[in-house]
Amino acid sequence: MSPPATPAVRDRLRIAIQKSGRLSEPARALLASAGLSWRESRDRLFCYGESLPVDLLLVRDDDIPGLIADGVCDLGVVGRNVLLEQAGERSEAGLPPVFREWRALGFGGCRLSIAVPDGWDWQGPAQLAGKRIATTYPNQLRAWLRQQQVEADIVVLSGSVEIAPRLGQADAICDLVSSGATLAANQLKPVLDILQSEAVLAGPVQPFGDVRAELADLLLRRMDGVLRIRDSKLLLFQAPREALPQVLQLLPDAEPPTMCPVDGSETLALQALCHGAMTWQRLEDLKRAGARGLMVLPVERMLA
């Protein structure tokens, strides 16, 4: 099915996600774990929601804020870096804000960083005065330079920013970094992060005034449930009552555990929802503290 030509479909919610790229699979997985399923269309630009009246639009990530601004879609999954850049562009043009971050989603993490040639002896932002900085994020860079009261030339590129210093187009760059391997391969080093980014759920500044408000609420509640327990595990074990203080000390990230005595003895059976990583090291420490029969179970859903 193709999207209707007119933007207003007011009884269904439309979410834009990246068609292909770093955020597309995790975005789909998150929405699917919130209970959404779709009928895929042949052109794969529009997926009709089957389990709920929530449809997907598959687009380039850069188009998502504009689609929300134009009312073509209601929500979108996009990098904070893209959202803020386009918000900055609107603000520079004197336009009012129309989209904003609704939720951080915990994947697609990266930093928007200033990077300089390896040979620079970095002293601080003042060193960028009068220099040329290449970026695809001119609005965020401009705002940051203004904040630092540094005047520099912004060289706007559409890609391959990391080779600009080698090509003599710029002295430094401002680009996304995750592992840092790309910078290292280009004899650059990150010296400052101007933004911590990750994928976010973006939506309009104004709340929906129709049935989409309820759909968005439902979706948010389910997504919050999924996000809250993303790294959580259910830990089951037994422990003698007197070992409890030492054992619980090793579970600072756990919700208050459920406990019950085993056959009226001084041994307790416990179950605790733990939010941090349950490594082998941790299990061995728990065993040393007196826990027995430790079992780590995955948690799929939680409704508080």
Applying CB under 6 A, the residues found at the interface with ligand PRT are 18, 21-23, 60-62, 79, 81-82, 108, 110, 175-182, 197
Number of residues counted as binding Zn ion (CB under 5 A): 2
The answer to the question of residue 62 lying near Zn ion (CB under 5 A) is yes
- The residue among 198 and 231 lying less far from ligand PRT, judged by its C-beta, is 198
The answer to the question of residue 157 lying near Zn ion (CB under 5 A) is no
Q: How far is the CB of 149 from ligand PRT (least distance, A)?
A: 27
Q: Find all residues with CB under 8 Å of 295, minimum gap 6, and list them.
A: 235, 236, 237
Q: Which does 85 bind (CB under 5 to 8 A by kind): ligand PRT, Zn ion, none?
A: none
Contact (CB, 8 A) for 196 and 94: no
- The residue among 74 and 85 lying less far from ligand PRT, judged by its C-beta, is 85
**Dihedral angle computed from the Cα positions of residues 236, 239, 243 and 249, in that order, rounded to the nearest 10 degrees:** 0
Contact (CB, 8 A) for 105 and 203: no
Q: How far is the CB of 176 from ligand PRT (least distance, A)?
A: 4
Q: Which does 36 bind (CB under 5 to 8 A by kind): Zn ion, ligand PRT, none?
A: none
Which of 108, 106, 301, 84 has its CA nearest to residue 202? 84
The answer to the question of residue 61 lying near Zn ion (CB under 5 A) is yes
Q: Phi/psi at 152 (nearest 5 deg)?
A: -140, 165
**Dihedral angle computed from the Cα positions of residues 50, 51, 54 and 60, in that order, rounded to the nearest 10 degrees:** -70
- The residue among 176 and 234 lying less far from Zn ion, judged by its C-beta, is 176
- Dmax over CA atoms of the chain, in Å, equals 78
Q: How far is the CB of 61 from ligand PRT (least distance, A)?
A: 4
- The residue among 62 and 89 lying less far from Zn ion, judged by its C-beta, is 62
**CA distance readout (Å), 182 to 51, 79, 115:** 41, 19, 11
Q: Which does 160 bind (CB under 5 to 8 A by kind): ligand PRT, Zn ion, none?
A: none
- The residue among 178 and 249 lying less far from ligand PRT, judged by its C-beta, is 178
Q: How far is the CB of 90 from ligand PRT (least distance, A)?
A: 18
Q: How far is the CB of 79 from Zn ion (least distance, A)?
A: 9
**CA distance readout (Å), 21 to 26, 70, 100:** 10, 23, 22
Torsion-angle region of 59 (φ positive above 0: left; ψ -120 to 50: alpha; else: beta): beta
- The residue among 60 and 146 lying less far from ligand PRT, judged by its C-beta, is 60
Residues that bind Zn ion (CB under 5 A): 61-62
